[in-house]
Structure 1
Amino acid sequence: MSAGRDPGLQPERTRLAWRRTLLTLTVVTALAVRLASNGSPVGALVAGAAVLIWGAVLVLCWPRSTGTGPARTGGRTLPLVALGTVGLALLGLVLAVSGLW
């Protein structure tokens, strides 16, 4: 006799994974804003872009992380979150190259 799959655990694990993703992106965005807040125009652009990317990812992930329903992107949430993550990495590269940190 094999134990059946418990369908109640998978949605909980998925919600927790999306929450961890949002928490990580929030911390990365806060660090980017802190590093970029030295008063230079490049820093202001990097901070603004980081906040915009974070906001977009938050809107995409919130329904999945709270369990209030599927994301409204037609199954494209993961690629869009990956694109946002790459965008934040590129902003970090701009910070490193411009010597703002």
Structure 2
Amino acid sequence: MRDPGAQPERTWFAWRRTTLTFVVSVALLARTALAEPTAPALLAVSVGAFAWLGMLVTAQRRIRGLARPAPAVMGPGQVLGTLACVLVLIVAGGMLL
């Protein structure tokens, strides 16, 4: 059963933590890339930044969807988009190893 008061707030906080984690991850990518500025390192940072933007858009859509009285579940497109952003960030981090 859905708790109309706390559940949307918990989900909102979870999406915010996720986007914050992405910001920290991209910042660490940038810091590592600036230590040795090579073309693959700069490519990894830019790809990571685009992954963060994709996650931010997905999170904002989901948060807006939670504001409705009866929020819908995440669609397959949002789930796959979120998964793609996470995988892209993992690959970007792997490029710097």
Q: TM-score range by the shorter chain?
A: 0.7 to 0.9
Greater relative contact order (Cα < 8 A, sep 6+): 2
The letter of the residue matching 1:31 is L
- The alpha-carbon deviation at position 62 of structure 1 amounts to 1.7
What is the count of residue pairs matched by the alignment? 88
Alignment CA distance shift 1:94-1:69 (3 Å)? same
Partner of 1:68: 64
TM-score by length of 2: 0.77
TM-score by length of 1: 0.74
Q: Answer yes or no: is 1:80 the counterpart of 2:77.
A: no
- The alpha-carbon deviation at position 39 of structure 1 amounts to 2.0
CA-atom RMSD, angstroms?
Answer: 2.0
What residue ranges of structure 2 are gaps of 5+ in the alignment?
Answer: 67-73
Larger radius of gyration: 1
Contact 1:53–1:84, Cα closer than 8 Å, also in 2: yes
What residue ranges of structure 1 are gaps of 5+ in the alignment?
Answer: 97-101
Question: Which protein is richer in helix relative to its size?
Answer: 2
- The alpha-carbon deviation at position 79 of structure 1 amounts to 2.8
Sequence identity of aligned pairs in percent? 35
